[in-house]
Amino acid sequence: MTRSRMARARITRARLQRLASDGGDRPHGAGHPEHHPAEGSIATGRASWRDRLRYRVDEFFARGTIALILGLFLVSALLIVIVAVIVVATGAGQGSSAGDNPSVVDLIWMGLMRTLDSGTMGGDAGSATFLGAMLVVTLGGIFVISALIGIINTGIQNRLDDLRKGRSRVIESGHTVILGWNQQVFTIISELVGANANQRGRNIVVLADRDKVSMDDEIRARIPDTRGTKIVCRSGSPVDLDEIDIAGIQGSRAIIVLAPEVEEPDIEVIKTILAITNDPNRRAAPYHVVAEIHDPANLEAARLVGRDEVELIAVGDVVARIIAQTCRQAGLSIVYGELLDFDGDEIYFSRQPTLEGQTFGDAQLAFEDSTLIGIANPDGVRLNPPAATVIGAGERLILIAADDDAIHLREGGPAAVDDGAIIVCVPTPVAREATLVLGWNQRVLQIARELDSYVAPGSELTVVTDDPAAADALDRLRPDLANQALRFVAQSSSSRSALDSLEVARYQHVLVVSPTDRYDPQRADARTLVTLLHLRDIASAVGHPFSITSEMADVRNRTLAEVTRADDFIVSDRLISLLLTQVAEEKQLNAVFADLFDADGSEVYLRPIADYVATVRPVTVATIVEAARRLDEVAIGYRIRAESNDATRAYGVHVNPRKGTAISFEPADRVIVLAHG
């Protein structure tokens, strides 16, 4: 090693020893040629006064628009005061436009005016010092006003951007909260708007993990008239404990939890229920939550989480039960649609003290514009109880009415009955039935099980589909069917040649299910429409009036499907949306509809009018009600066959008619009754 290298090595070792002995804490002195002030300050943890000043200014301005405005105010005030003091101290204001002996206050006012309006300086007169001082103030004012305009504009824009993000907390009470987003949200909002039509000040809050502006735009496009109901959208995750508070759920009257359009929606629904019930900021009073569950296997977990605060709607079971009932009775979907939506007559609970102590049978004729269908108490609901059941004190009556404020007892006592027109007909035994199912989705399995509860032994069920998932599923289903022989045909359900080979005319009931397991809603409905067109053409050719029930995926396609003149259309998402809304408005309605849709409870039937009253002369609705009562049934309306293709007349379905109305019936007409099996 050369001497120069050895010297450099000794110097380096000496420096390292000094650094080690200092611990890195002693700042570099001015004698260090490698010293850099900024780097030295950061390295040692100490800052220069310039760094500290810059940091404080940055911190102040980072506080937002108000801080910026305040900063400009302080700068301009400081400038005006300094100039005023200099002018007074130098005597430059003598003989100027400010007067002979202007005070500091006078000069501050003059400076303020020139700051706000630069044109004010045009009238100034005086010494060069005075004019220069006013020029400085004016130029400073131009800078301040320009900056102020920019800051205010930016602040307003930032505030608008924040509002568009939908992150501000909702301050409402008595409102309905919708957590989550899917296509059902539009039907639910529309129905809530209808339910709130006779009430002022009702609000709907939607919280979903979506852009607020896009939610507002979609709702406005689909529901242009909210009829006084305010709709508020907020962006946030319904499963986040911090973000659900944005929707103001503590003050809500009802919460509807929608299943998101993801692979496992039930998991998200259960997490949302957990967030609601375990919110550290939750209210003491119990919530009223309504949620949908798609997989029955998840119902028990959802019940454990929600306990008594949550009403669960089992989507698959409900839709399957409605389809199973509807495909056997033409027009039943219209009846259910009337009971579920808020545009016509719905189911309400009402306490009538004057009827306490009377029997259920006698009370059926006590209302002119409402139809009594059951009794409710804290233990549960009873639809179509025995006519001799006594209405107890404090019990609520379950009625079909146009609105909750339209329930009134009939003046003058019960409606008159024409006993001579009543026919007590013994129901005929249920005959064997042949049902044809065209298409496939997982609900077909539950539909088949539900049908098995209604049909007579020896009936037949044929499933036609080219879906490869159907064969194994139907093989597993066969042992569960007691009254039906199951036949599987592996062909396309929309093929005309396949339909011709099936001899469709020999089936009493034809059900076209939506193939949503394989296709998106629009494509699934397109295949359904093709199948319906073929079926209607076959029916016209053979002259056989078999009933056709069709399941649609998108309610917007129903209008197109009506040209096929199918007897009933089931739109699964719409039915669930209506049911969620009804239960959100009245908690006990969940038990009512569960009874209606269950094969073991009381169901809705459309039966020949000739089995109840004579059709040779007009009869009143009260007479039909009495005829049904004698058969332990409740008459809730009728269907006129001649109007079955008229959409303006609800396809002939008349629910909750006035008791005194007299109608001339034809033998093909039907009476709509609530009965056990």
pLDDT digits (tens, 9 = 90+) for 595-609: 999 888 789 999 999
Q: Does some domain include residue 513? A: yes
Is residue 354 domain-shared with residue 308, that is, in the same domain? no
- Domain-terminating residue out of 319, 339, 360: 319
| Residue 256 · residue 269 · CB < 8 Å | no
Q: Does some domain include residue 255? A: yes
Return the bridge partners of 599, or none: none
Percent of the chain whose pLDDT exceeds 70: 86
- Domain-terminating residue out of 165, 195, 218: 165
Is residue 77 domain-shared with residue 131, that is, in the same domain? yes
Answer whether 0.85 is exceeded by the pTM: no
| Residue 381 · residue 360 · CB < 8 Å | no
> Which among 446, 530, 448 is positioned nearest to 485, based on CA atoms?
448
**Which phi and psi angles does 379 have, rounded to 5°?**
-80, -15
The domain total for the chain is 4
Q: Does some domain include residue 25? A: no
Residue 120 has what pLDDT?
Answer: 65
What sign does the dihedral 562-564-568-571 (CA atoms) show? negative
Is residue 453 domain-shared with residue 555, that is, in the same domain? yes
- Domain-terminating residue out of 533, 566, 599: 566
Tokens (6 digits) for 463: 């499933």
176 has pLDDT over 80: yes
Specify the 3-state DSSP secondary structure of 582.
helix
Residue 55 has what pLDDT?
Answer: 74
Helical axes 65-90 vs 128-165, angle rounded to 10°:
170
Point out the least confidently predicted range of 146-160, 308-322, 495-509, 612-626.
Answer: 146-160
Is residue 610 domain-shared with residue 644, that is, in the same domain? yes
3-state secondary structure 374-443: EEEECCEEEECCCCCCECCCCCEEEEEECCHHHCCECCCCCCCCCHHHECCCCCCCCCCCEEEEECCCCH
Is residue 369 domain-shared with residue 489, that is, in the same domain? no
Is residue 227 domain-shared with residue 306, that is, in the same domain? yes
630 has pLDDT over 70: yes
Which domain CATH number covers 148?
A: 1.10.287
Point out the least confidently predicted range of 43-57, 468-482, 623-637, 660-674.
Answer: 43-57
Tens digit of each residue's pLDDT (9 = 90 or more) over 340-352: 988 889 999 999 9
Q: Which residue has the higher pLDDT, 57 or 547?
A: 547
Which domain CATH number covers 520?
A: 3.40.50.720
Highest mean pLDDT among 30-44, 51-65, 650-664: 650-664
How many other CB atoms are found less than 10 A from the CB of residue 72? 16
Q: Where are the alpha helices (DSSP H) in 62-180?
A: 65-90, 104-116, 128-165
Q: Give the C-alpha separation, 581 to 176, whole Å.
A: 10
Q: Which domain holds residue 307?
A: 176-319
Tens digit of each residue's pLDDT (9 = 90 or more) over 641-655: 998 878 788 889 999
Tens digit of each residue's pLDDT (9 = 90 or more) over 197-236: 777 778 999 999 998 989 999 999 999 988 889 999 999 9
Is residue 513 domain-shared with residue 548, that is, in the same domain? yes
Q: Give the C-alpha separation, 318 to 316, whole Å.
A: 6
Tens digit of each residue's pLDDT (9 = 90 or more) over 556-573: 777 777 665 667 788 888
Residue 489: C-alpha distances to residues 92, 375, 439, 467, 486 (Å): 108, 46, 11, 11, 10
Q: Where are the alpha helices (DSSP H) in 505-615?
A: 521-542, 558-561, 572-585, 589-597
Is residue 180 domain-shared with residue 315, that is, in the same domain? yes
* Cβ neighbours of residue 583 closer than 8 Å, sequence gap 6 or more: 290, 311, 313, 589, 590, 593
* Cβ neighbours of residue 540 closer than 8 Å, sequence gap 6 or more: none
Q: Does some domain include residue 41? A: no
Residue 378 has what pLDDT?
Answer: 87
673 has pLDDT over 60: yes
6 has pLDDT over 50: no
Q: Does some domain include residue 541? A: yes
**Which phi and psi angles does 508 have, rounded to 5°?**
-80, -35
Residue 159: C-alpha distances to residues 153, 162, 165, 166 (Å): 10, 5, 10, 11
Residues shown for the chain = 677
Tens digit of each residue's pLDDT (9 = 90 or more) over 260-300: 988 889 999 999 999 999 888 888 999 999 999 998 899 99
Q: Give the C-alpha separation, 117 to 125, whole Å.
A: 17
Q: What angle do CA 382, 383, 387 make, to 5 degrees?
A: 95
Is residue 349 domain-shared with residue 298, that is, in the same domain? no
Q: Does some domain include residue 12? A: no
Residue 92 has what pLDDT?
Answer: 66
| Residue 233 · residue 216 · CB < 8 Å | yes
Residue 360 has what pLDDT?
Answer: 95
Q: Does some domain include residue 609? A: yes
Q: Does some domain include residue 235? A: yes
Mean pLDDT, range 91-120, rounded to an integer: 70
Mean of per-residue pLDDT scores for the chain: 84
Q: Which residue has the higher pLDDT, 115 or 618?
A: 618
Mean pLDDT, range 431-446, rounded to an integer: 92
Mean pLDDT, range 356-380, rounded to an integer: 93
Is residue 315 domain-shared with residue 335, that is, in the same domain? no
Return the bridge partners of 620, or none: 662
Is residue 524 domain-shared with residue 598, that is, in the same domain? no
Q: Give the C-alpha separation, 619 to 6, whole Å.
A: 125
Is residue 293 domain-shared with residue 206, that is, in the same domain? yes
